[in-house]
Amino acid sequence: MRLSDFTLLAICLGARSIVTATRGSITARDNALNPVVTNNVLEITVHDSLYSTSLPSTGSEHLARRRANSLRKRQAITFAEDDLITYKGASYMANVTIGGQPFALEIDTGSYQTWVATTQFRCWDVHTQRVLGQSTCRLGDLFDPTQPFRSTRQTCESRYDSGEVLDGFLGHGPFGFGGVGRGQRPHFTIDQTIGAMTIGMWYGNGISSGVLGLAYPSAPIVWDHLVQEYQSVLFTLFHTQNISPVFSLALQRSTTSSPTAGHLAFGGIPNVHTDGRWVPTPLVRNAQGTYTLYNILIDGFDITPAPKSPSAGWWKNTKGGRYKNSKQNMIIDSGTSKVILPDRVAKYIAGGFDPPAHYEASVEEYIVPCFASSPRVGIKIAGNSYYISAEDLLERRDNIDGDRWQHECSLMIEPAGNSRLILGATWLKNVLVVFDMSNAVEVRRGGRNGDRDQFGEVRIAGREVY
C-alpha cells in the first residue's frame, strides 16, 4: 500500500470461528467453518533487485529517496491458487491476464485499487515537467488497451506521498488469474474495471506492470475525488463466481534453491506447512471509526534482546519483554516491505542487537552489522506470539551501483513517526494469513449475516521455519 490522496473506503469482512490446522489440512472446531487446502494458487517467483529494499507502500516521506529500497457451506465450490514472484524478498507479484495479455502485478493487501501501465505510458518528472526515459520508472511489460478492453471514458488519478503520481483512464475487460504463473489458462476470468495509466512517475522494479489491489471496499471506489462505479477485483470475484469469500497469503523468503516466493489462494488455503497454532482475530475500526484496510488489534510484542545488547538490561527487569503488553492497531499490508512499529519499540529492538543498530538519518532507517547477534522479535496476537525469523530481520545494503556492502545491513523494522503501524512483508514471510470476507458478501447480498458490526476477521498460523 503506497498511500495516495484518494479516499480510502471501508472494508467489510465476515467473522468466523476459530480453526485448528495440521500440515496439509485445516479442521473446523465446529460446523460453521471448513476452509480447505486448494491447489489453485498464484505463485510468486523470485527476482533480484538493484536495490536493498523495495518501496514500502505506506506514505512515508522518505520513499522517494529510497528507490534503494467458511465458511458458509456451498455446493460446487471452486478454488484458485497460483505461485508468486518476489522482487528481492521485498515486493511480491502475481501473474494475471488483462484483455488476454499476461502481466505481473504487485499484490497489495493495503489497497483496493488495481491498475496497469499502458503502451502509451510516459515517465514524467512532476517537478521539472519533463518526459523521462522509460528506464526511470522501471515498469515491466506495458498493456495494449485495445479490444476487448473498453474505456469507460472516465479519468483516474493516483497520487502517492512518495512523490509518485499516475494518471490515466478507467476501462473494463476480461481479467484472469489463478494458474497463470504456472503456464495454465486462468482459473477465473472476470469482467473487471481497472485503471489504465498513461503518464506519471513510478518507482518500479523492472518486473511489475502495475498493482493488484486485494483490499475489499464496501462501496464504489473514489478516483480523482469522484465516486466511480468501480469495485475491487475481490469484490467482483466473490460476487460473480461460485467461490467461498476467502483468500489466503503465504509469502516466502527467497532462496537460491527455490524460485517460488509464496502462494496466493482464493477460496481456501495453499498446501504449506504451518506450526498448527491457528488464531482468529477480528478486523477493527480505525481512528476515524470506520473499517478501512485489514486493521487488527495486537496484544503487544514478544522481544528477547541478544544477551550482551544494550536492551538486555531492560529485558531482565521486565520478564517477557518490555513491550509485551502494548496494544496497537496495525494494518496487514503485503505492499509494505518492512514492519513499521512505534518509535520506542523500534528503538528497543535496534538496541537488542549485539552490537546494536544505529539510526542513519540520511536513509531514515536503522543500520546494523550483518554479523550482529539478533534479538528474538515476535508480534503477539490473540495470546500467541508470531516470530520474525532472524534472517528476515536484516537485509544487506546495496549502494547506488548495486555493489554489496560487505558488513552493513538494513534493519527491516522501521520507526513509524506519525505514520500508520504496518505488518509488512517482513512479518508476512513468517505466517500464513487467511482473510475471511464471508459477512461482507452476505451484507451486500442482503443475507442473514447482516450485522454491520461484524466486518470479518483474519486467521493466522505461524510458519517461521520452512
Instruction: Write the DSSP string, 74-97.
Output: -SS---EEEEEEEETTTEEEEEEE
Note whether 441 and 426 are within 8 A (CB). Answer: no
Q: How many whole angstroms from its chain centre is CA 95?
A: 15
Which of 108, 167, 299, 354 is catalytic? The answer is: 108
Q: Which residue out of 167, 299, 333, 392 is catalytically annotated?
A: 333
Q: What is the rounded distance in angstroms from the CA atom of residue 368 to the CA atom of residue 350?
A: 8
Cell 513510478 identifies what position?
Answer: 202
Q: What is the DSSP string of 94-156?
A: EEEEETTEEEEEEEETT----EEEEEEEEEEETTTTEEE-HHHHT--SPB---TT-EEEEEEE
Q: How far is CA 337 from the centre of its chain?
A: 8
The amino acid at residue 428 is L
Question: Annotated catalytic, 108?
Answer: yes
Buried b (16+ CB within 10 A) or exposed e, 14-28: bbbeebebeeeebeb
* Known catalytic residue at 401: no
Residue type, 427: W
**Can you tell me the distance from the alpha carbon of 33 to that of 16, in angstroms, rounded to the nearest whole number?**
7
Task: Enumerate the active-site residues.
Answer: 108, 333
